[in-house]
């Protein structure tokens, strides 16, 4: 997860491979609420784990549901349609999750009306700007007491009731359909709570927007035992005697809106091989799966089946389209990004609902696509996008994401600009907002996207032993969202493997073979060698000593060369060692040579060893350190020395954060965005 101020994405050229999508947000939060209202336990498979579902889960806990799970499977024990929290006033914080705010407002309003209680529903500032008035009006028709705690028509809301109150379901409930389909969904999910002797009727005034989301609601209600009768999208009837019945086990399909970014990526950059998308397929119940038709109209070549889709480039450049996007407002945003690669002007209409989403998406999309060099016209409920007028008009833009996951994911597609003649990286501000629906979006994208090696930025940190290179490199890598190469670990692993295989320290050829056949795997902070966790073992002094010896052997250095190069993957690499800037990555964008006094380094090494439970003394360490420096500096191959273009950093009196700040400042001076 990229919890960093900005993410720089280098110019990308290709996608290939397989992505597995996280569960659908719309399905996840509907299933959670239905399970929470039902009697008994529902076992939910492949639930989306994201900000919005966390918000819903927490709300369910607060109203008395039991929630347990291990990631793959979540068990929800529902409240059986009864609220037992009347004694206290509950305050539910729902972030910016519309899929939690609207249906919870409806369900809880009905529950407190009947069972009594007081519940406050709040969200982040943006949530308090997202309309809810039409839903509140409908709830008031039912006899619910709903008050606005801020501005009329918007959250926060206060729901109140006395035990034994009545929900008036006799007359049809009238609801406007043209602001958000979530209002209708909210009522449909909630009204079975009031189920009694009579059927309950909802009548929709005006044309309903985002109809496919209502189809999802109806399909899921059916799984929970409620068969809604309907007359088109105008009149819905919940039959008399309806009661939620937990289906015991339910599977959440992958998110079709999330699929749209990868369908687009395949259409743009699936040049040599298709991109395979798993978790959602042509059998999906989600309306956004229709995005495939739009992508095909723009040129994508798509095949698929149940649970899978494969996409590759067809027409190139893509073809501009004019499309009514009422049926897939979320995925339609992706078309606006694809329009960057289309010949001509793409016009997307009937997208007024974009204005009341996580941000005003029409204004946001127009502003950011213009920054990239596109020509954009935006109106009350449409947007028109034309690519940059000529390939050299692509601009190095720092793009805002507006705390809107879809903005971030759409804009990441602009990084494929080399395929349209551009050649610029893209800076995405506040990339963490993808956590709303797709916490691993960027890891997933970078897992399948690639580019020409020289375009992948590298920062090298070289320096003597215990100068703090590793810590500095990992701090900088974390703050940039890049990969890290601890090259010393490769020499240490070679030494450890040699010790374990009883290879003599003077058998250069055999040591070279050990280096060439290392079965090494780096996983977060853990290093695996031959399937065993060797993170600690690598730090032992004897291992370091032998590493210093083997690292002087040309056969070993050569054997490890290609392995080190393979760490250079999008979006970028921070590599630390002795010869990163001089030999392995001579074209690195920024080279740092880190130093610290021998006394300081000996102290740091002592602390490091003690913290790992390894004993040592200061004088011994300092002597060993100086001997190792001398060996590293004087050896014939790749001696330790600053690259001519390296920037020197003496960190003797700097904290890690201060050193990292300095490096990042250097980086920002080199990698400039408009
Ligand atoms: O940085 P370190 O202490 O983990 O490195 C272990 C040994 O590997 C060290 O003695 C020097 C050697 N090394 C090297 O020669 N070249 C590198 N790029 C990294 C480490």
Give the residue from 608, 610, 551 showing the smallest Cα distance to 583.
Answer: 551
Q: How many angstroms separate the alpha carbon of residue 486 from the centre of ligand 1?
A: 9
Helix axes 51-62 and 98-115, enclosed angle (nearest 10): 10
Answer whether 188's CB lies under 8 Å from 217's CB: yes
Taking 80 as the threshold, does the pLDDT of residue 244 lie above it?
A: yes
Give the residue from 326, 107, 325, 332 showing the smallest Cα distance to 208.
Answer: 326
Taking 90 as the threshold, does the pLDDT of residue 122 lie above it?
A: yes
* Cα(260)–Cα(383) distance, integer angstroms: 18
Nearest CA to ligand 1 atom 8: 488
Nearest CA to ligand 1 atom 13: 488
pLDDT of residue 6: 95
548 lines ligand 1 (CB under 6 A): yes
Q: How many angstroms separate the alpha carbon of residue 654 from the centre of ligand 1?
A: 23
492 lines ligand 1 (CB under 6 A): yes
Report the DSSP beta bridge partners of residue 376: 385
CA of 465, closest atom in ligand 1? 3
pLDDT bracket for residue 199 (50, 70, 90): very high
Q: Rounded to whole angstroms, what are the CA distances from 86 to 93, 167, 273?
A: 18, 17, 59
Pocket test for ligand 1, best of 487, 488, 563, 634 (most atoms within 8 A of CB): 488
pLDDT of residue 270: 98
DSSP SS3 for 398:
strand
- CA dihedral (110, 111, 115, 118) in degrees, to 10, reads -100
CA of 635, closest atom in ligand 1? 15
Q: Mind giving me the DSSP string for 628-670? A: HHHHHHH-SSS-S---TTPEEEE-TT--HHHHHHHHHHHHHHH
CA of 538, closest atom in ligand 1? 4
578 lines ligand 1 (CB under 6 A): yes
Q: How many angstroms separate the alpha carbon of residue 164 from the centre of ligand 1?
A: 75
Give the residue from 240, 238, 253 showing the smallest Cα distance to 22.
Answer: 253
628 lines ligand 1 (CB under 6 A): yes
Span 357-372, pLDDT tens digits: 889 999 999 999 999 9
What average pLDDT score do residues 614-630 get? 89
Distance of alpha carbon 646 from the chain centroid: 34
pLDDT of residue 87: 66
Q: Rounded to whole angstroms, what are the CA distances from 433 to 219, 403, 437?
A: 29, 5, 9
* Cα(72)–Cα(600) distance, integer angstroms: 47
Query: In whole numbers, what is the pLDDT of the chain averaged over residues?
Result: 94
Span 434-451, pLDDT tens digits: 999 999 999 999 999 999
463 lines ligand 1 (CB under 6 A): no
| pTM of this structure | 0.88
Distance of alpha carbon 548 from the chain centroid: 40
pLDDT of residue 1: 59
Answer whether 27's CB lies under 8 Å from 46's CB: no
Q: Rounded to whole angstroms, what are the CA distances from 49 to 4, 385, 421, 608, 665?
A: 20, 33, 38, 36, 34
Answer whether 405's CB lies under 8 Å from 435's CB: yes
Q: Please provide residue 33's backbone torsions phi and psi, each rounded to the nearest 5 degrees.
A: -65, -45
The vertex-278 CA angle with 275 and 284, nearest 5°, equals 115
Q: Rounded to whole angstroms, what are the CA distances from 206 to 132, 151, 334?
A: 17, 25, 27
Span 29-47, pLDDT tens digits: 999 999 999 999 999 999 9
Distance of alpha carbon 499 from the chain centroid: 42
547 lines ligand 1 (CB under 6 A): yes
Q: Please provide residue 600's backbone torsions phi and psi, each rounded to the nearest 5 degrees.
A: -65, -40
Out of 330, 404, 430, 579, the active site residue is 330
Answer whether 30's CB lies under 8 Å from 187's CB: no
* Cα(48)–Cα(405) distance, integer angstroms: 14
* Cα(175)–Cα(136) distance, integer angstroms: 10
Q: How many angstroms separate the alpha carbon of residue 251 from the centre of ligand 1?
A: 49
544 lines ligand 1 (CB under 6 A): yes
Nearest CA to ligand 1 atom 9: 548
262 lines ligand 1 (CB under 6 A): no
* Cα(428)–Cα(214) distance, integer angstroms: 33
CA of 548, closest atom in ligand 1? 10
* Cα(608)–Cα(167) distance, integer angstroms: 66
What average pLDDT score do residues 183-196 get? 92
Nearest CA to ligand 1 atom 2: 488
Tokens 């213009």 — which residue? Answer: 370
Cβ count near 192 (within 10 Å): 25
Q: How many angstroms separate the alpha carbon of residue 551 from the centre of ligand 1?
A: 7
CA of 628, closest atom in ligand 1? 10
491 lines ligand 1 (CB under 6 A): yes
Q: How many angstroms separate the alpha carbon of residue 192 from the centre of ligand 1?
A: 67
Answer whether 465's CB lies under 8 Å from 629's CB: yes
Of 334-338, 502-506, 571-575, where does mean pLDDT reach its minimum?
Answer: 502-506
Share of the chain above pLDDT 70, in %: 99
CA of 552, closest atom in ligand 1? 15
Span 272-325, pLDDT tens digits: 999 999 999 998 989 899 999 999 999 999 999 999 999 999 999 999 999 999
Which distant-in-sequence residues (6+ apart) come within 8 Å of 245 by Cβ? 38, 39, 224, 225
635 lines ligand 1 (CB under 6 A): no
Taking 90 as the threshold, does the pLDDT of residue 180 lie above it?
A: no
Which distant-in-sequence residues (6+ apart) come within 8 Å of 389 by Cβ? 373, 375
Establish whether 330 is a catalytic residue. Answer: yes
Which distant-in-sequence residues (6+ apart) come within 8 Å of 199 by Cβ? 237, 238, 239, 240
Answer whether 75's CB lies under 8 Å from 36's CB: no
pLDDT bracket for residue 178 (50, 70, 90): confident
Which distant-in-sequence residues (6+ apart) come within 8 Å of 71 by Cβ? 49
487 lines ligand 1 (CB under 6 A): yes
pLDDT of residue 86: 61
Q: Rounded to whole angstroms, what are the CA distances from 659 to 285, 409, 419, 662?
A: 51, 31, 37, 5
Q: How many angstroms separate the alpha carbon of residue 595 from the centre of ligand 1?
A: 15
CA of 489, closest atom in ligand 1? 4
What average pLDDT score do residues 583-600 get? 95
Helix count (H) and strand count (E) of the chain? Answer: 20, 35
Span 130-158, pLDDT tens digits: 999 999 999 999 999 999 999 999 999 99
């Amino acid at each position: 997860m990229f919890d960093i101020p900005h993410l720089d994405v280098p110019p990308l050229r290709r996608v290939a491979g397989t992505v597995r999508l996280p569960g659908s947000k719309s399905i996840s939060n509907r299933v959670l609420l239905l399970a929470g209202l039902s009697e008994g336990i529902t076992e939910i498979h492949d639930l989306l784990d994201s900000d919005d579902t966390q918000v819903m889960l927490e709300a369910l806990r607060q109203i008395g549901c039991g929630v347990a799970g291990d990631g793959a499977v979540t068990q929800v024990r529902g409240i059986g349609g009864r609220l037992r929290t009347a004694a206290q006033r509950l305050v539910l914080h729902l972030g910016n999750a519309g899929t939690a705010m609207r249906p919870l407002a409806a369900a809880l309003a009905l529950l407190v009306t009947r069972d009594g209680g007081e519940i406050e529903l709040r969200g982040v500032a943006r949530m308090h700007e997202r309309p809810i008035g039409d839903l509140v009006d409908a709830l008031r028709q039912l006899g619910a007491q709903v008050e606005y705690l801020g501005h009329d028509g918007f959250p926060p809301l206060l729901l109140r009731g006395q035990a034994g109150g009545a929900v008036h379901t006799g007359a049809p409930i009238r609801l406007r359909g043209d602001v958000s389909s979530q209002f209708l969904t909210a009522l449909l999910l909630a009204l079975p709570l009031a189920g009694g002797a009579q059927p309950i009727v909802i009548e929709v005034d005006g044309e309903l927007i985002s109809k496919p989301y209502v189809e999802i609601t109806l399909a899921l209600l059916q799984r929970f035992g409620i068969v809604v009768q309907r007359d088109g999208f105008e009149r819905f009837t919940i039959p008399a005697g309806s009661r939620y019945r937990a289906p015991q086990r339910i599977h959440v399909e992958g998110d079709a809106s999330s699929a749209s970014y990868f369908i687009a990526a395949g259409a743009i950059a699936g040049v040599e091989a298709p991109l395979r998308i798993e978790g959602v397929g042509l059998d999906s119940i989600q309306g956004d799966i229709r995005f495939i038709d739009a992508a095909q109209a723009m040129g994508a070549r798509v095949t698929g089946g149940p649970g899978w889709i494969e996409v590759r480039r067809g027409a190139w450049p893509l073809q501009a389209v004019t499309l009514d996007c009422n049926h897939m407002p979320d995925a339609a945003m992706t078309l606006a990004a694809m329009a960057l690669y289309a010949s001509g002007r793409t016009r997307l209409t009937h997208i007024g609902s974009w204005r009341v989403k996580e941000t005003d998406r029409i204004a946001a999309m127009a502003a950011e696509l213009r920054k990239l060099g596109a020509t954009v016209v935006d109106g009350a409920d449409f947007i028109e996008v034309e690519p940059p007028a000529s390939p050299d008009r692509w601009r190095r833009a720092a793009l805002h994401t507006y705390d809107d996951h879809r903005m971030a994911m759409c804009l990441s597609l602009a990084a494929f600009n080399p395929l349209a003649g551009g050649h610029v990286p893209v800076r995405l501000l506040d990339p963490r907002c993808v956590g709303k629906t797709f916490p691993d979006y960027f890891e997933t994208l970078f897992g399948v996207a690639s580019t020409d090696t020289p375009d992948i930025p590298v920062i090298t940190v070289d320096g003597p032993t215990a100068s703090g290179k590793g810590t500095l490199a990992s701090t900088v890598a974390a703050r940039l969202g890049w990969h890290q190469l601890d090259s010393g670990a490769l020499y240490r692993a070679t030494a450890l493997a040699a010790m374990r295989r009883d290879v003599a320290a003077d058998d250069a050829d055999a040591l070279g073979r050990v280096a060439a056949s290392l079965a090494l795997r780096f996983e977060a902070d853990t290093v695996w060698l031959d399937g065993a966790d060797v993170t600690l073992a690598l730090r032992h002094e004897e291992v370091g000593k032998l590493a210093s010896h083997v690292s002087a052997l040309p056969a070993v250095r050569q054997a490890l060369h290609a392995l080190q190069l393979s760490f250079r993957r999008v979006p970028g690499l921070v590599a630390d060692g002795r010869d990163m800037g001089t030999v392995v990555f001579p074209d690195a964008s920024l080279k740092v040579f880190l130093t610290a006094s021998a006394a300081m380094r000996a102290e740091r090494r002592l602390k490091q060893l003690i913290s790992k439970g390894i004993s040592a003394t200061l004088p011994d360490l300092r002597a060993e350190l100086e001997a190792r420096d001398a060996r590293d500096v004087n050896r014939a191959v790749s001696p330790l020395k600053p690259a001519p273009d390296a920037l020197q950093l003496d960190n003797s009196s700097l904290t890690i954060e201060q050193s990292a700040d300095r490096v990042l400042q250097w980086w920002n001076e080199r990698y400039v965005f408009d």
